[in-house]
Amino acid sequence: MSELKNDSFLKALLRQDVDVTPVWMMRQAGRYLPEYRKIRAEAGNFMNLCQNPELACEVTLQPLRRFDLDAAILFSDILTIPDAMGLGLYFEAGEGPKFRKPVRTAADIDALPVVNAEQDLAYVMEAVKLIRRELNGSVPLIGFSGSPWTVATYMVEGGSSKDFATVKGMMMNAPEMMHELLGKIAVSVTDYLNAQIRAGAQAVQIFDTWGGALSPHNYQTFSLNYMEKIIQGLTRENDGRQVPIIVFTKNGGLWLEQIANCGADCVGLDWTINIADARKRVGDKVSLQGNMDPAVLYAKPEKIREEVAMILEQFGTGNGHVFNLGHGIHQHVDPEHAKVFIDTVHELSSQYHR
């Protein structure tokens, strides 16, 4: 592998010195980019795009051609694992993901195989290798997975949900079944992330999109616990460097102290928390990633600059900040506004790293 030219992202995750605050955007390879929409249309459907390593590589690299990003993130989906387990993932136009065979009974859960990622998700590993080759050491590549709880919500509900009636019903009425399911997903995610690291991922993020829908004790028991187990099972080394781990629970701001203790190197923040408060609460335990409201990218460039300046000032001097949006970039954002955002982070952050 060629030497890494820009390692500020990896350094910031591990709270090491950097010259400017690194920045990337969740969902940076996506529908707001016309060049993405073109490839997406040619691929026919979303899963074709994920499962074709050349196309996945191409869309991963698209935002890096436009913007001065400090990291690339593998283009894939958090539901590749249940798809590999045989649930039959599909996407219908204008709707969220769906499964042909949702998981509802003890027998459904017993029948679920644990994923062997290198075999069952070989297309992901090929994409990782291809992206690393194409990146050629310019910036690090982030691998990722959904959290067990988040993935389980889709598996049990059979798709997206507003109130999580079925999966929360299972959690409360049959907790042992829920643990069986989460355990299988956690083993699969561990294998999946380790395979991504072996294939070349230089950092990994666990997306816990729906952990924030739980009450505090259920979050600990049914979401955070399984992320801890995964982290304990990860090989944290690639090319002789430590592979940092980011955990992002949307709406998890009330539980920061617990999350900071889960073994991750970095905690992702959504925009509902003041990052100064977050930093006080986690101390030296972890670095922080975030946390501009993605809707700020609808604002005029001056306003985007103002918000970036405010968050940089809130975080203050010193290390341990990776700038990001507080959630994925929205579909209708003007790519020029994303450029303003990224350039401003670099321009205004150097003063905090002297």
Provide the binding-site residues for its own copies, judged by CB under 8 A. 163-165, 168-169, 172-173, 212, 214-219, 251, 253-254, 271-274, 277, 293-296, 298-300, 303, 310, 326, 330, 332
Cis peptide before 251 (omega within 30 of 0): no
142, β-bridge pairs: 73, 203
163 is catalytic: no
CB of 235 to its own copies, least distance (A): 33
User: Looking at beta carbons only, is 153 or 194 nearer to its own copies?
Assistant: 153
User: Looking at beta carbons only, is 244 or 290 nearer to its own copies?
Assistant: 290
100 is catalytic: no
DSSP summary character for residue 228: H
* List 7, 15, 40, 191, catalytic entry: 40
User: Looking at beta carbons only, is 242 or 314 nearer to its own copies?
Assistant: 314
Assigned token pair, 354: 């002297």
CB of 3 to its own copies, least distance (A): 39
User: Looking at beta carbons only, is 45 or 272 nearer to its own copies?
Assistant: 272
* List 7, 70, 77, 265, catalytic entry: 77
Give the long-range contacts of residues 281-288, CB within 8 A, separation 24 or more: 281/256, 281/257, 282/256, 282/257, 284/15, 285/260, 285/261, 286/260, 286/320, 287/12, 287/13, 287/14, 287/15, 287/244, 287/319, 287/320, 287/321, 287/322, 288/315, 288/320, 288/321, 288/322
HSE value, Cβ hemisphere, 13 Å, CA-based, for 20:
16
154 is catalytic: yes
User: Looking at beta carbons only, is 114 or 299 nearer to its own copies?
Assistant: 299
Taking Cα atoms as reference points, which of 138, 131, 133, 201 lies closest to residue 3? 138
Amino acid found at 322 = V
* List 32, 36, 154, 219, catalytic entry: 154
Instruction: Please tell me the distance from the alpha carbon of residue 230 to that of residue 191, in angstroms, as a whole number.
Output: 9
CB of 266 to its own copies, least distance (A): 20
31 is catalytic: yes
User: Looking at beta carbons only, is 203 or 297 nearer to its own copies?
Assistant: 297
CB of 309 to its own copies, least distance (A): 13
CB of 142 to its own copies, least distance (A): 23
CB of 178 to its own copies, least distance (A): 12
Radius of gyration of the chain, Cα coordinates, nearest whole angstrom = 19
Active-site residues, by number, are: 27, 31, 40, 77, 154
